[in-house]
Structure 1
Amino acid sequence: MKSLYHRIAALLVLSIVSVVGLATFVASRVLEPPDAHDILAPVVSQMRLTLALVETDPAKAATAGARLDNRLPDGQPHARLSEALVEMLAADDIHLPSEVIKTSETPPMMAAVRTPDGAWAVFRIPHRAPPSDWLYILGGWMLLIVLGSLAISFFIASKITRPLELLEGAAESIGKDGLLPPIPEKGSREVRATARALNRLSSRLRSALESRMRLVAAAGHDLRTPMTRMRLRAEFISGDDERAKWLSDLEELDSIADSAIGLVREETSDSGPELIRLDIMVRLITEELAKLGFAIELSSAADATVPAQPMALKRALRNLVINAATHGGGGRWRLETTAKDAVLTIEDGGPGIPEDLLGQVFEPFFRVDPARRKTAPGAGLGLAIAKEIVNRFGGDIDIANRPAGGLVQTVRLPLSA
């Protein structure tokens, strides 16, 4: 976004400076030069006085500063000013030869009128040349234009990119639940319209998510009644093998229903996080699962306190370690800490997962058929729920194959400040 902001500002600066420069160039070419009568008016007055002194007392004329030469100054005649000079002198009833000469001296133009005795009275025409420090003045003028252009351009660029910045900020503020927080509807009309549209989008997403959760919860809950009836009927099946198959399938359906309801419960929970001693929780889970017959071993547990919801985090860790014990032939885990995170590593000795299927392990109902090394229909949402819980508390889960065989599950949770 900053790059777009700077590009817009640079484009505006270039446009303003180009327009001002072009306008200045055109004005310098279009504007007419100063009027000849305005230029020569003071010179004609001086000529009248000098001619009067020359006729009455030539010595006083020389003393007054009149320059009398026997010839015209060296240079080229200036046609326009010469014509104007003759016209202005004729208006004063002075009909003497006169000329305006462009010279190489300073000032660059001289006006001359021939006196009755044949000499030329020469006068300097005032020349308004640029000041000697004109380069500094021009530089200051251009700097003023550029600075003004920068101020205006950055202000306009900020107004143009404000809705885009709002979109960027909204995208970055999306929570773990995929929803946008409410955005204040204030500022310019465009900003208010953008904030209003984002708030409507967030409201619709929230409604859709809640509707999906209600549907999943209702489906999981409604499954319980027919499954109970089926379980009662299965008890009356005469064959032990057939009855065992029915009961196994019912247990799988029950697991799916529990997982669906659990997913809804975890995603709709509003309870805030608490400070939890993760090392104590890990030890309690190990003892609890060992009593239930799971092959779980805790090698080490460093002291670690993390912000989380106790029941949700315990459920997630139980799911992960039970997977290692059930599908990996026994699990071993350890708890370590870094400067910022608590790192829980769970290893097993199972067959592992094909590398091309590792990206699917957190999908609902994912399971790998160990015999065929490919995906097979699974039951439950254990890993999906576990990842959702850990992500909600600012952590992450990574699963990879061990070089020696089996899987390693790595859980990272931020330590409390």
Structure 2
Amino acid sequence: MLNVKRRLFWKLCITFTAGVVALFYLLDFLAVKAEDSMSQIAQKHRDQLLAWAAEAETLFNAGDNAELDRWLAQLQQSEQLQAAVVQFESTLISGGQLEPERYTGFNFGRNVAWPVHLYFDFNPVMEIPFGDGQTSFLVGLPAYMRPGDLWYSTKITLQLILPMVLLAVLSLLVYSHIMRPISQLRRATNAFSHGDFSVRVRTLLGGRNDELADLADTFDYMAQRIGDQIVNQRHLIADLSHELRTPLTRLDIAVDSLNSRPSTENIARVSRESQHIRRLVEDTLTLAWLDNERPRLELEGLDLVDLIDVILEDARFEFPGRLINTALPATARIEQTCHRAVGQALENIIRNALRFTADGGAVQVTLETVGEYYRIYVQDQGPGVPEHQLAQIFQPFFRGDSARLSNHKSFGLGLALAQRQVHIVGGDIVARNAPKGGLCVTIGLPRDGHSAAMGLLGQAK
């Protein structure tokens, strides 16, 4: 198996190693084939040599040695070669006579079918035996019949030009394999820098699985996160600007009234609007921090029941006209979680339920253990939320129908903050309309908070 952290290295190593070995084998194969084919005398030249031998054999068999000498002299002069007709006869000196075929032929020249060594500096003598087996026609191979005229240029091609071309092709393939994803990353980076936050690279690489694919995954995650941050910040700034207009207008009116007619009522109005604006800005900054950063959690153990009791005590003081009913176990211990995030999330959800419950109404808070999670149910007696808006209530500055807002003022940030805070501790949160009316928000918190939070952060990387 390839090393996970060096997949590209092994891929290039295997490619170059296999490519170079294959190149050496191919060059050797081509060199042997080329040398063998170029060492053979051309067929037309073989036919010419055989024709000369046939003419010499005809004259020899006719017994006309003078005519044979004249013909050989003419051949040597016209072709600028040496030629002769010779006989071979073996004499037994000692030992037994071996097979007769061992003693036939002159055996000092080369057969016309044999390859001619391309590295010889001299032309070889060719031997063509006559029919009697004891006489042969010997002729020095003419220069124009010598094979291998292109051998040196062929050798340079095989040893220099062809390796350079093949290595250049191999380098081009490797370069293309490396540069294709890099070029796609460069184009994606340029597009991202010009505002195209939807650009992604990994899908363009197909089934590729190496360091460059990991880089593409990292880029896609970065593009997703930064793009979401930029879009969220733009929406948040636009929504905040819109939300600030009304309290700022009321503040301007109160200040003008205070300047023209100072009164305790106007001073209280200025103070109230200032606090309103401060809370709005603080909640917005907290939401932006949770959306854009990966908060470093201060992990500690806590008893969820004790935490809920403290939050409910404050809630009863703030909303004395509402009832809070509870169904809580004696204890619900969570190890290694963030006390601040859990507390703020629960407080926002409970306060939100109390705001939407009219005086004399009741909010039900229930805590159950379900597998590895604690499930907290917070149900109010408000007007509920239209089904098509349930998925939107965790969005910043979202406000439901006017019926749900008729009895209070809201920034639309409480549930958005609660969702972010629950998520950073590895929990989940959903909302649904209760069968008998009102909204029920369910918060799931892992009993082993540290493991869940680490798993969540690991997925984000």
Report how far residue 397 of structure 1 moved: 1.9
8 Å contact kept, 2:251–2:274: no
Distance in 1, Cα, partners of 2:443 & 2:403:
28
Report how far residue 320 of structure 1 moved: 0.5
Pairs within 5 Å for 1:176-187: none
Match of 1:264 among 276, 285, 289: 285
Pairs within 5 Å for 1:218-233: none
Distance in 2, Cα, partners of 1:30 & 1:13:
26
8 Å contact kept, 1:349–1:405: yes
Pairs within 5 Å for 1:13-412: 27=30, 31-33=34-36, 35=39, 55-57=90-92, 62-63=97-98, 67=101, 80-81=112-113, 96-97=129-130, 114-115=133-134, 162-169=211-218, 172=221, 254-265=275-286, 272-275=297-300, 276-291=302-317, 292-293=319-320, 294-301=322-329, 302-328=331-357, 329-369=361-401, 371=403, 378-412=410-444
Distance in 1, Cα, partners of 2:402 & 2:220:
41
The alpha-carbon distance between structure 1 residues 69 and 296, as it changes in their structure 2 partners (threshold 3 A), is farther
Q: Secondary structure at the match of 2:399?
A: strand
- Gaps of at least 5 residues in structure 2 are 42-86, 105-110, 117-122, 136-169, 183-209, 451-461
Q: Look up the equivalent residue of 1:115 and give its one-letter code.
A: Q
Report how far residue 250 of structure 1 moved: 8.1
8 Å contact kept, 1:274–1:308: yes
Distance in 1, Cα, partners of 2:126 & 2:262:
143
8 Å contact kept, 1:9–1:157: no
The alpha-carbon distance between structure 1 residues 307 and 411, as it changes in their structure 2 partners (threshold 3 A), is farther
Q: Look up the equivalent residue of 2:281 and give its one-letter code.
A: A
Distance in 2, Cα, partners of 1:336 & 1:308:
18
Q: Look up the equivalent residue of 2:92 and give its one-letter code.
A: D
The alpha-carbon distance between structure 1 residues 397 and 171, as it changes in their structure 2 partners (threshold 3 A), is farther
The alpha-carbon distance between structure 1 residues 96 and 168, as it changes in their structure 2 partners (threshold 3 A), is closer
Aligned to 1:127: none
RMSD: 6.0
The alpha-carbon distance between structure 1 residues 225 and 395, as it changes in their structure 2 partners (threshold 3 A), is same
The alpha-carbon distance between structure 1 residues 331 and 234, as it changes in their structure 2 partners (threshold 3 A), is farther
What is the CA deviation profile of residues 83-116 of structure 1, one whole-angstrom value per residue up to 9, with x for unaligned ones?
Answer: 97xxxxx977977328xxxxxxxxxxxxxx8136
- Gaps of at least 5 residues in structure 1 are 38-50, 71-78, 85-89, 99-112, 117-148, 180-200
Report how far residue 260 of structure 1 moved: 2.2
8 Å contact kept, 2:384–2:404: no
Aligned to 2:163: none
Distance in 2, Cα, partners of 1:235 & 1:279:
51
Q: Look up the equivalent residue of 2:34 and give its one-letter code.
A: L
Q: Secondary structure at the match of 2:400?
A: strand
Report how far residue 60 of structure 1 moved: 5.6
The alpha-carbon distance between structure 1 residues 81 and 289, as it changes in their structure 2 partners (threshold 3 A), is same
Q: Look up the equivalent residue of 1:264 and give its one-letter code.
A: L
Q: Look up the equivalent residue of 2:285 and give its one-letter code.
A: V
Distance in 1, Cα, partners of 2:343 & 2:252:
30
Report how far residue 389 of structure 1 moved: 2.1
Give the alignment's TM-score, normalised by structure 1.
0.50
What is the CA deviation profile of residues 351-377 of structure 1, one whole-angstrom value per residue up to 9, with x for unaligned ones?
Answer: 321222122212233222254999x99
Distance in 2, Cα, partners of 1:348 & 1:230:
40
8 Å contact kept, 2:379–2:439: yes
Q: In terms of mean alpha carbon deviation, does 258-267 or 404-413 score higher?
A: 258-267
Distance in 1, Cα, partners of 2:127 & 2:29:
41
8 Å contact kept, 1:362–1:384: yes
8 Å contact kept, 1:366–1:377: no
Distance in 1, Cα, partners of 2:435 & 2:382:
12
Distance in 2, Cα, partners of 1:392 & 1:174:
21
Report how far residue 229 of structure 1 moved: 5.1
The alpha-carbon distance between structure 1 residues 254 and 296, as it changes in their structure 2 partners (threshold 3 A), is same
Query: Matched residues, percent identical?
Result: 20
Report how far residue 317 of structure 1 moved: 1.0
8 Å contact kept, 1:231–1:250: no
Q: Look up the equivalent residue of 2:367 and give its one-letter code.
A: L
What is the CA deviation profile of residues 205-263 of structure 1, one whole-angstrom value per residue up to 9, with x for unaligned ones?
Answer: 8xx99xx7xx99xx89x96986985897999889xxxx89x989985774453132134
The alpha-carbon distance between structure 1 residues 228 and 387, as it changes in their structure 2 partners (threshold 3 A), is farther
Distance in 2, Cα, partners of 1:171 & 1:413:
30
Q: Count residues with an aligned counterpart.
A: 298
Q: In terms of mean alpha carbon deviation, does 300-309 or 360-369 score higher?
A: 300-309
The alpha-carbon distance between structure 1 residues 398 and 95, as it changes in their structure 2 partners (threshold 3 A), is closer
Distance in 2, Cα, partners of 1:388 & 1:346:
17
